[in-house]
Structure 1
Amino acid sequence: MKQGIHPEYRKVVFMDTSTGFKFITGSTKNSNETVEWEDGNSYPLIRVETSSDSHPFYTGRQKFTQADGRVDKFNKKYGLKDANAAK
């Protein structure tokens, strides 16, 4: 292995800003914020918007979009009938 080309990993706490979920892992990211972890040590804190705690793929709480298009949505909202619809 070549010397001096590999990054230096250290323990970092990642916090999901939408749920407050925190987890510790190895990372090369830098941060000015620190947080005290359950073991009593201080670690750099990295804030993320989405983690496995809030991502719909992992939680199963997906937002389903309507199958209707924009025109159909507009027509439903304003009560307009489709002239081409079967009678």
Structure 2
Amino acid sequence: MKKGIHPDYHKVVFEDSNTGYKFLTGSTATSDQTIKWEDGNTYPLLIVEISSDSHPFYTGKEKFNKAEGAVERFNKRYGKK
């Protein structure tokens, strides 16, 4: 690999803004905010709107509001009169 063309890869803490769940991982993203982690080190903090802790696919709490609305519209248009 060529030197000097890749972004700096470092450890970062991501926080789910909906649930408060935090996890430490490697990333090239940076932030002005920092947080002191469980190991005593300080890492950049990135706040995200959704993570595996709050995403419906991973939590099993999917909502089918749009599908229910589509069924009602179909029955209204093409249902028995």
Shorter-chain TM band? 0.7 to 0.9
| Counterpart in the other structure of 1:36 | 36
Q: What is the rounded CA distance, in whole Å, between the counterparts of 2:50 and 2:5 in structure 1? A: 30
CA RMSD of aligned residues (A): 2.0
Q: Normalising by structure 2, what TM-score? A: 0.82
| Counterpart in the other structure of 1:76 | none
| Counterpart in the other structure of 2:58 | 58
Q: What is the rounded CA distance, in whole Å, between the counterparts of 2:13 and 2:53 in structure 1? A: 14
Find the structure with the greater CA-based Rg: 1
CA positional deviation for 1:33: 0.6
CA positional deviation for 1:85: 3.1
Which residues in structure 2 correspond to 1:1-87 (within 5 Å)? Answer: 1-65=1-65, 66=68, 67-69=71-73, 72=76, 85-86=80-81
- Show structure 2 runs of 5+ residues with no match: none
User: Identity of paired residues, percent?
Assistant: 58
- Show structure 1 runs of 5+ residues with no match: 73-81
Q: What is the rounded CA distance, in whole Å, between the counterparts of 1:24 and 1:70 in structure 2? A: 47
Q: What is the rounded CA distance, in whole Å, between the counterparts of 2:58 and 2:16 in structure 1? A: 14
Q: Normalising by structure 1, what TM-score? A: 0.77
What per-residue deviation string (whole Å, max 9, x for no partner) do you get for residues 13-66 of structure 1?
000000000001111111111111110111000000000000000000001121
